[in-house]
Amino acid sequence: MSSRHTTTIAGSLLTASFSAVMILSFTAVADDTGPESGKGGKAVDEAPAGVRLTTELPERISVDNSSEKASITATVKNGGSKESDSIRLLVVGFDGLRVKNVEGCTAIAAKDLPEGSNSGFSCAVGKLAADASKSYDVDATFDLGKTGKICLPVQDAAGKKTFWQQGPVPFGTTNPSPNAPATPLLLGTDNQPAAPGGDELPRTGAGDDVLPLGAAGAALLAAGAAGLWWTGRRRPRPS
């Protein structure tokens, strides 16, 4: 076999190997959700003795740059020593993060959504045994030109008490990847859009570019008839 022919084959194999490495790398980015975290969570109403309810979200998610689709796992846990009464988990999206579906859960009507949110689902968890957890697959979209937040409250079945609330906590990146197939986002990070003038995030509504937990709390308490919750109170306006 001539040395020229040998060189051509070797070059083709090298190109194929490089392409395979690139594909595997992108697949790893898309599938890597990382460990789960309770970042942005806090206890609200006191849970029954022996019951300790919390939630977790993945530290990292990936958004498809073409479809804007993202998958998120929302987990509710009972880290206590006793079984809980019937509880429910709510999954609510804000700004650029829109919750499209939560497996086994019911959509919250648009008129009953809290101020500033764009979507939400209510999940009837039922009783949760001691040291047990239950996870839900969340289908979402993320507009990478905006910030995006998610919130996971855990309530009693009637929605009168909130034992735990994670968020609204942001997902985002300070290093956008517009030319890649997917953009990895980190929990607890404000999104920085990849666009001219991206140093200033676009407004998504009057006054909701920054949504304090307390302000969101008042909005959801006002929707008590729909069984929605939240923590905190609106700051009194000066007279």
Q: Is 60 a domain residue? A: yes
pLDDT over 90 for what percent of the chain? 61
Q: How many domains does the chain have?
A: 1
Provide the pLDDT confidence category of residue 197 given band limits of 50, 70 and 90: very low
Task: Average the pLDDT over 17-28 and give the result.
Answer: 30
Is 237 inside any structural domain? no
- Domain hosting residue 116, numbered range: 29-195+208-226
Predicted confidence band at 208 (pLDDT cuts at 50, 70, 90)? very low
Kindly tell me if the per-residue pLDDT of 141 is higher than 60.
yes
19 domain-assigned = no
Q: First-to-last CA distance in the chain?
A: 91
Does a structural domain hold residue 236? no
**Mean pLDDT across the chain, nearest whole number?**
78
Task: Please enumerate in sequence order all residues whose Cβ is within 8 A of that of 22, keeping only pairs 6 or more positions apart, or say none.
Answer: none
* Residue 9, domain member (yes or no): no
Give the three-state DSSP class for 102: strand
- Looking at residue 51, which CATH number applies to its domain? 2.60.40.10
What pLDDT digit, counting tens, does each position of 38-72 carry? Answer: 999 999 999 999 999 999 999 999 999 999 999 99
Lowest mean pLDDT of 95-109, 141-155, 221-235, name the range.
221-235
Question: What is the SS3 assignment for 140?
Answer: strand
Where in the chain does DSSP place strands (E)?
36-37, 41-43, 53-58, 60-64, 69-78, 87-95, 97-102, 106-107, 117-126, 132-142, 148-156, 162-172, 182-187
Give 22-29 contacts, CB < 8 A, sequence gap 24+: 26/180, 26/181, 26/182, 29/62, 29/180, 29/181, 29/182, 29/184
pLDDT of 11 strictly over 80 = no
User: Is 16 inside a domain boundary?
Assistant: no
Residue 129 lies in a domain: yes
Domain annotation covers residue 181:
yes
Share above pLDDT 70 across residues of the chain, in percent, rounded to a whole number: 67
Q: What integer pLDDT is reported at residue 196 of this predicted model?
A: 53
